[in-house]
Chains A and B, each alone.
Chain A
Amino acid sequence: MTKTDPEVRIPDPIDLDRAEEDRLRAAAGLAPVRPERPEYAGFEQVGIPDRPPETAREMEVYSLAEGEMLLNMGPQHPSTHGVMRLLVKIRGEVIVDIDPVLGYLHRGIEKLCENATYTTVLTYVDPMDYLSTMHNEHAPAIAFEKLYGVRAPKRAEYIRALVVELNRIFSHGLMMGFLALDMGGLTPILYSFINRDEIVDMLSAISGQRMLFNFFRVGGVNFDVNDEFISRLGTWRSHVLENIEMNEWMITENEIFTARTKGMGTLTGQEAISLGVTGPNLRASGVPFDVRKAHPYSIYPELELEVITQESGDSYARYLQRIAEIKQSIHLIDQIVDKMPHGPVQAQVPGIIRPKPGRAYGAVESPRGLYSVYAISDGGPNPYRFRMRDPSFISLQAMPKVMPGRLVADTMAVMASFDPVMGGVDK
């Protein structure tokens, strides 16, 4: 095999198209697509990427000082929580700058929803943040109920809160596992999956699916609770605390784990608020903001709920925060099961609803933060605009804030503690 001649530069197909297009435009007397910018002159091959920078932020990231190197923790990577590209500028092992490149999992869900009826939209949003499916459905359900002017019956709201809390438990449990896995511990993830499997079996008994539940409807839920669900819930409840504790024994007091997470990725409360981080990440930095308490929805005003916070705001605090929230959710489930009233589970709503033109906003507390939906209706069977605000997207913006100065090895640990899910980030 011959070595590649370093003088010969094999052009990237994108370059060819761009160059070709510019040539044609010049021949037709038009300006090139991307105008020449004198401040980017001389920006040749840096390694990554293969075109000059186009924004000031890119300029900042791609300009290398002496001894720095651009490393691509690329879209294909064993542990970037999905497909995400992290452009890391490192000097040796120390990170100087980090630039998340997103959009590899974009599926055009918001646009798809513009061509779907309101009930179909509730199935399209399932695979967004695929580890918190019930929350993904809850927010649009609230928004559409506001648009249409219907309230779900009490029993439906209780069932909604029940499945939503179950979803929160297994999502936080998985975060524990993923955090340990990204640090090299191979077994806590499997213990988390034991817990998740039980919950997901339970939810499949009530909704018919194990992951993308399609359970919520405008005006209530699809099915009522059945015996199978109750029996599985009881079995699960009897040993869930031992399960969580077993997993905690593996991780929480482990010296290696604490040495790697204490003091890492510290986000102060003020920084978190200015970035827009919400959810357990925010509460771990000491800010007591919980959507269930601040903007109450569903039946949360009737439940005993207190907002837990941690003080330090580092990765360890985010981890402890999630464990505390698991225990809080278990307590909430106990209350819900005690207080559930009888009644119908779905309001009388036609199959295809045509709400009057208007706008509505629905926000829920998902395991990753504030998840909200803004829907605009134009009177037809499809929403005019369906916009989702996903918390993982915002949490990832905190990475360039907390990472510089840390080592490459910390990247994954800190990112896992923020618990992003790429499905939600890219929609």
Chain B
Amino acid sequence: MDWELILGLGRFLLATTLLLVLTIPTAFVIIQMEMKIIAQLALRFGPNRVGPRGIFQSSIHGFKVLAKEDTVPDQADRGTFTLAPWMVYMAAAMSMLVMPFAPGAIAADFNISIVYFFAVIGLSVVGLLVAGWASYNKYSLLGGLRAAAQMVSYEIPLTLSIVGAVVLAGTLSFSELIDWQRQHGWLLIWQPIGLGIFYVASLAEINRTPFDMVEADSELVAGPFTEYSGMRFGFFFFAEYVALFIMSGILISLFFGGWLAPWPFPAELGGFAGTLWGIFWFFLKTYLFVSIAVWMRGTLPRVRVDQLMGMAWKVLLPLALVNLFVTAIAVVVFDLKGV
């Protein structure tokens, strides 16, 4: 009886169940935040009737989405039509496996978790493309193709921008990267350009304004989601906000110290209190960046699709390569490897 294996398996199952379950309240919270923040930016209140100061609005939206009629277009490809939301949602959920919430509180702490993450997060493209095609609708098709083009082309600057950080830290695992940041200072000082590229590319990867051409609702109604209603649309909707949460989480893990507390506070504590301390700082930083993304959504118009692609290939990619080049040279010249 290999108790360790069974215990490990049990812990893994518990962690994954917890994560899957936690995606829903996360999405609710972020949706509520978005509604209120965008409203306040526009000098209005946002929902403030449902619940004290309107905090139950988002949950009620969730229930409403469950109660809506499930329509499938007559000539749509029913199987793939149903499959598409699952693909998008699963891509988001799978990538949460490696999110570094706190020391020892990672569901699956591989030694190549960074590679795993970037591999899995790209799977959502397939879901959007399938949704666009299976809907038997020209708008959806256009939206799906835009999604494919945008997300595929932004994956390259996304992954290249962090290679500099990886080279500096000498590891591909999130927890070890954060450990390196504890010793050497947050990576944002070492890799500011990488941070900039990663931020822009991550917004484009999750289809957030100003890069939300995919669901440009003043042109294509709702892009690939046009024919989806009820819980099918709910999956897409939640997946988008969960992906926002995930990307912000990864952003802060890579560049802002992850679960580490900033300067006046002790970076890490030990034991169970340390786990709570880490979780607290992780969520604080993540929600800070989620708020910044929401702020940008409320302020900026959309970038046009060809300008978007042009930016990815002509600006971000060369910049990422230059960043990588300079970092690599610096590592060799100043002998920073494994510092």
Contact = CB atoms under 8 A, between A and B. Distances in A.
Interface string A232-245: 00000000000000
Nearest to A416: B218
A71 B139 CA distance: 8
A411 B44 CA distance: 30
A26 interface: no
B17 interface: no
B303 A259 contact: yes
Nearest to B212: A184
B297 interface: yes
B134 to A, nearest CB: 13
A186 B298 contact: yes
Interface in A173-232: 180-187, 190-191, 194
Interface stretch (A121-129, A249-257, A293-301, A312-320): A249-257
Contacts of A359: none
Contacts, number: 90
Interface stretch (B35-43, B173-181, B235-243, B269-277): B35-43
Nearest to A413: B304
B207 to A, nearest CB: 12
A281 B219 CA distance: 23
Given A190-B44, A260-B307, A77 B209 contact: no
B210 to A, nearest CB: 6
B142 A186 contact: no
A186 B210 contact: no
A215 to B, nearest CB: 29
A408 B219 contact: yes
Contact of A4 (B42, B75, B306): B75
Contacts of A256: 210, 300-303
Nearest to B220: A408
A34 interface: no
Contacts of A79: 218-219
A328 B284 CA distance: 49
B193 interface: no
B218 A183 contact: yes
A280 B180 CA distance: 60
Contacts of A411: 219
B213 A409 contact: yes
Given A4-B74, A256-B210, A184 B304 contact: no
Interface in B136-186: 138-139, 142, 146
- Range, interface on chain B: 20 to 34
A412 B213 CA distance: 13
A67 interface: no
B299 interface: yes
A71 B300 CA distance: 28
Given A3-B74, A187-B299, A78 B305 contact: no
A184 B216 CA distance: 7
A260 B138 CA distance: 24
A407 to B, nearest CB: 6
A1 interface: yes
Contacts of A251: 301
Nearest to A194: B43
A256 B221 CA distance: 21
B72 interface: yes
A356 B16 CA distance: 87
A341 B212 CA distance: 55
Interface string A68-88: 010101000111000000000
Interface string B183-212: 000000000000000000000000001101
A93 B74 contact: no
Interface string B73-94: 0110010000000000000000
Given A71-B138, A181-B218, A182-B218, A187 B41 contact: yes
B42 A93 contact: no
Contacts of B304: 259-260, 407, 409-410
Contact of B301 (A4, A257, A410): A257
B308 to A, nearest CB: 10
Nearest to A71: B138
Which residue, B38, B78, B138, B298, has most C-beta atoms of chain A within 10 A?
B138
A408 B218 CA distance: 11
Nearest to A94: B306
A185 B43 contact: no
A183 B138 CA distance: 21
A3 B221 contact: no
B138 A69 contact: yes
Nearest to A183: B301
Given A4-B75, A77-B221, A412-B218, 9 more contacts: A78-B221, A79-B218, A190-B43, A194-B43, A251-B301, A254-B301, A407-B304, A408-B142, A408-B219
Q: What 9 A-B pairs have minimum CB-CB distances, sorted nearest first?
A: A184-B302, A183-B301, A185-B301, A190-B42, A79-B218, A187-B42, A184-B301, A182-B218, A409-B304
22 contacts: A1-B72, A3-B74, A4-B75, A69-B138, A71-B142, A93-B142, A184-B212, A184-B218, A184-B301, A186-B297, A190-B44, A250-B299, A254-B300, A256-B301, A256-B303, A260-B302, A260-B303, A260-B307, A407-B304, A408-B142, A408-B219, A409-B302
Interface of A: 1, 3-4, 69, 71, 73, 77-79, 93, 180-187, 190-191, 194, 250-251, 254, 256-257, 259-260, 407-412
